[in-house]
Amino acid sequence: MDWLNAVVQGTLLGGLYALFAAGLSLIFGVMRLVNIAHGDLIVLAAYLGLTVTTATGLHPLLALILVVPTMAAIGYVLQRGLLNQTLGDDLLPPLLVTFGLSVILQNTLLEVYTADPQKMDAGALETASFAVGGLTLGVLPALTFVLAVVVIWGLQWTFYHTAIGRAFRAVSDNQDIAQLMGLNRRHVYGLAMALALGVTAIAGILLGIRTSFDPSIGGGRLIFGFEAVIIGGLGNLWGTLAGGVILGVAQTVGAKIDPGWQILSGHLAFLVILAIRPNGLFPRIDT
């Protein structure tokens, strides 16, 4: 039963990792950009949530109403003002610019919010639980998982059933022809980054309710998201959810064996999958 419990808790944790990964997966799919600052943007969202909740007294989940559009706006401006300039055949500029951005974000957060660990207060939601078939599940982890499924379903639907989704797929397939067909790819990329950071905002708030956070944890979140993307297979959003779940389960089962092994066993699971299935479990995009 203990082991089953570890697997179930890990699955729910995987929902959070899938949310970390969804934004990463989305922007890679649309513009082949790997954003090294992604983890720091998740932490930024958590801090924005903290500012909103302390300033207005809103519940952290209601703070999403403000934080999601703010992050989306930041995403659009960031993409059009900075990241669009780095896109091209050369790999180095996007990598180094987002790496520089990561250092800037991390230290700005440190300057503004200090290095003290912070946490968002979600009241009764943090401790509420319910029993299912002999297992006790936290309401917050379950809610996180449901939100992850909803977000990924929403992204899938946006991609395949809306005009903007068609634009995303078009610039992803061939930017030059998409441009000839009247799509402004700079604007489309801006919208994709806005959407990705909107998702990141949800991930950041849920992270901030679940655990304490400080400005230095961005890199670790980036790695979890990245591992979920690679395990699931590039460009496959449902695969990313599966990847998040596998990572989460590996971590909780590892922690069950020895608490010091939690994060390490997640990384090892990732490396094993990389060794056996280099393209991930459910690949869609060839790079």
Partner 1 sequence: MNLNTYTVSRSSKTARIAAILSAVVLIILIAAPWWAGRADMRLMGELFLYLALATLWNLMAGYAGLVSVGQQAYVGFGGYMLFALTMFAGLHPIAAILAAGLLGALASIPVAVLIFRLRGAYFAIGTWVIAEVFRLGFAQVSALGGGSGSSLPVAIVKSLASKRAMRGSLSYWLALGAAVVVIAAVYAFLRSRKGLALTAIRDNELAASSLGIDIWRTKFTVYVVTSALTAMVGALIFLQKLRISPDAAFSVNDWTAFVIFIVVIGGIGTIEGPIIGTLVFFALRETLADLGTTYLIVLGVVAIVIMLRAPRGIWGVIRNRFDLQLFPLGYRVNASNKDNGT
For partner 1, the binding residues (CB under 8 A) are: 33-34, 36, 82, 85-86, 90-97, 99-101, 103-104, 106-108, 110-111, 219-220, 222-223, 226-227, 230, 234, 260-261, 263-264, 267-268, 270-271, 274-275, 278, 287
Cα 160 to Cα 251: distance, rounded to the nearest angstrom:
33
Q: Which residues pair with 70 in a beta bridge?
A: none
Shortest spacing between CB 225 and partner 1, in angstroms: 9
CB-wise, 169 or 267, nearer to partner 1?
A: 267
Residue 131's identity, in one-letter code, is: A
Shortest spacing between CB 270 and partner 1, in angstroms: 6
CB-wise, 205 or 247, nearer to partner 1?
A: 247
Residue 55's identity, in one-letter code, is: A
At residue 282, what are phi and psi to the nearest 5 degrees?
-130, 70
CB-wise, 70 or 279, nearer to partner 1?
A: 279
Four-residue CA torsion sign, 250, 228, 68, 142: negative
Whole-Å CA distances, 145 to 15, 17, 40, 126, 272: 4, 10, 22, 15, 25
Cα 94 to Cα 36: distance, rounded to the nearest angstrom:
9
CB-wise, 69 or 93, nearer to partner 1?
A: 93
Residue pair 228/240 in contact (Cβ under 8 Å)? The answer is yes
CB-wise, 238 or 261, nearer to partner 1?
A: 261
Residue pair 18/240 in contact (Cβ under 8 Å)? The answer is yes
Shortest spacing between CB 86 and partner 1, in angstroms: 7
Shortest spacing between CB 162 and partner 1, in angstroms: 28
Shortest spacing between CB 285 and partner 1, in angstroms: 11
Coil, strand or helix: which one is 213?
strand
